[in-house]
Amino acid sequence: MNSYENSLEFAQKQDQNDPLGKFREQFLIPTDKNGNPHIYLCGNSLGLQPKKTREYLNIELEDWQKYGVEGHTDARYPWMPYHEFLTEKMAKIVGAKPSEVVMMNTLSVNLHLMMVSFYQPTDRKYKIIIESDAFPSDKYAVESQLKFHNYDPKDGLILWKPREGEELCRFEDLEEIMESQGEQVALLLIGTTNYYTGQSFDIKKITELGHKYNCMVGFDLAHGAGNIQPNLHKNGPDFAVWCSYKYLNSGPGSVGGCFVHERHANNKELKRFTGWWGHNKSTRFNMRHEFDAIEGAEGWQLSNPPILSMAAIRASLDVYDEAGFENVIAKSKKLTGYLEYLLKDINDSRIQLITPENPEERGCQISIKLHGATKELFDDLTANGVISDWREPNVIRVAPAPLYNSFEDVFKFVQILKKLLQ
């Protein structure tokens, strides 16, 4: 249990003793018109730019200028195998074997590709379960998959909901759904960390529950990758997908990632949509071969990698690798714990923290429900130099990202919020 104090001196002392404090200097923090840095607490929406990113992009621009098409083989980081430069470091962050991970496409594209392989409905077993307040794109994706297979989403989509008057989903309610409908469920697809509440779900328990009923189990790690350690290989879901522009700081709309557990990754008989970049590397450029899937997650690739986007991912992963992801997680728990402590210490009945108190059931995001507040309060926070996130009807999401946020950031934010509430 951390013992915190509600003072600037305490926050500054924590920053002085923070082994990851030096990494703040490796990021470009937005400033106001006077050059003062904003209190940036929005890494759950878009992570900040590592200073390395410009350098890494410039390398590729220079090599493109110098080599043209020959850059595929002759660039300092040859473009043909470029995605492979990301694999090992990305695998550490999601707790997977390198053969189970590939960076490709964007999140929703990868989600559809995974459902081609892992949603194989039958007349008897065709339903999909998601959490009721999943991010809209996940809901749209599964509804469209149901329709594609000629099922009505009103029948085929099951929502795992919080109980009346509660904000968080309970595992025992998911167990009840499976007890009553599990024989009809083909796929459990859960967002590991809910975008709205910040609740992180137990990947191992959900996976074991789904497999008990012979369901495929997948996870959307959009708000999990770089935020929690999902231990994907050990916990055993069939697949997972994620984006890289939130906690992984790779720039707006950057390339996503995909995990396929090794028990499936070498199964060439598994149905999939295919493209030439998933074909056997040794014969890929002999255009007249039948498709021969690469073993591992790479076999789900469609197209050659977008180098400029991947250069930005490489820059970010190098920062993570230098910091050590276990150290990032440790600081995250302390930093978020301090934010929670300070918010509770305001002692204002209008404030309700809807994110779980247990550090094992959340990442760095705290979702603050402000009873009686309107978006005007959020606008006032922004005017006071705080970059956070508003979600209707009355929730402000704040996410102190451990690589670049400080204890002083958190302290100052809460002081500004307290003043505005008064």
CATH 3.90.1150.10 segments of the chain:
8-49+326-421
pTM: 0.96
Residue 274 φ/ψ region, left for φ over 0, alpha for ψ in the -120 to 50 degree band, beta for the rest: beta
CATH 3.40.640.10 segments of the chain:
81-321
- Give pLDDT, residue 287: 76
Looking only at the bridges linking them, the beta strands covering 395-398 and 157-160 are unpaired
Residue 102 phi/psi, 5° resolution?
-145, 140
Tell which CATH classification among 3.90.79.10, 3.40.30.10, 3.90.1150.10, 3.40.50.2300 matches the domain 8-49+326-421: 3.90.1150.10
> Could you report the per-residue pLDDT of 227-266, keeping only the tens digit for each?
999 999 999 999 999 999 999 999 999 999 999 999 998 8
d(CA 43, CA 236): 28
Strand partners, 217: 188
DSSP one-letter string for 275-322: -GGGB-GGGTTSTTSPP-BPSSGGGG--S---HHHHHHHHHHHHHHHH
- Give pLDDT, residue 76: 98
d(CA 295, CA 311): 24
Name the residue among 393, 330, 404 with its Cα closest to residue 367: 393
Quick one: fold of 81-321? Answer: Aspartate Aminotransferase; domain 2 (3.40.640)
Buried b (16+ CB within 10 A) or exposed e, 85-98: bbbebbbbbbbbbb
d(CA 44, CA 205): 25
Three-class SS state of 136: helix
Three-class SS state of 187: strand
d(CA 250, CA 53): 8
Name the residue among 23, 24, 27, 29 with its Cα closest to residue 51: 27
d(CA 369, CA 37): 26
Three-class SS state of 118: helix
- Give pLDDT, residue 2: 65
- Give pLDDT, residue 268: 86
Name the residue among 87, 101, 84 with its Cα closest to residue 233: 101
Over the chain (422 residues), the average pLDDT of each successive run of 10 is 88 98 98 95 98 98 98 98 98 98 97 98 97 93 98 97 96 98 98 96 98 98 98 98 98 98 92 94 87 95 96 98 98 98 96 97 97 93 97 95 98 97 92
Burial class (CB in 10 A: 0-12, 13-18, 19+), 48: buried
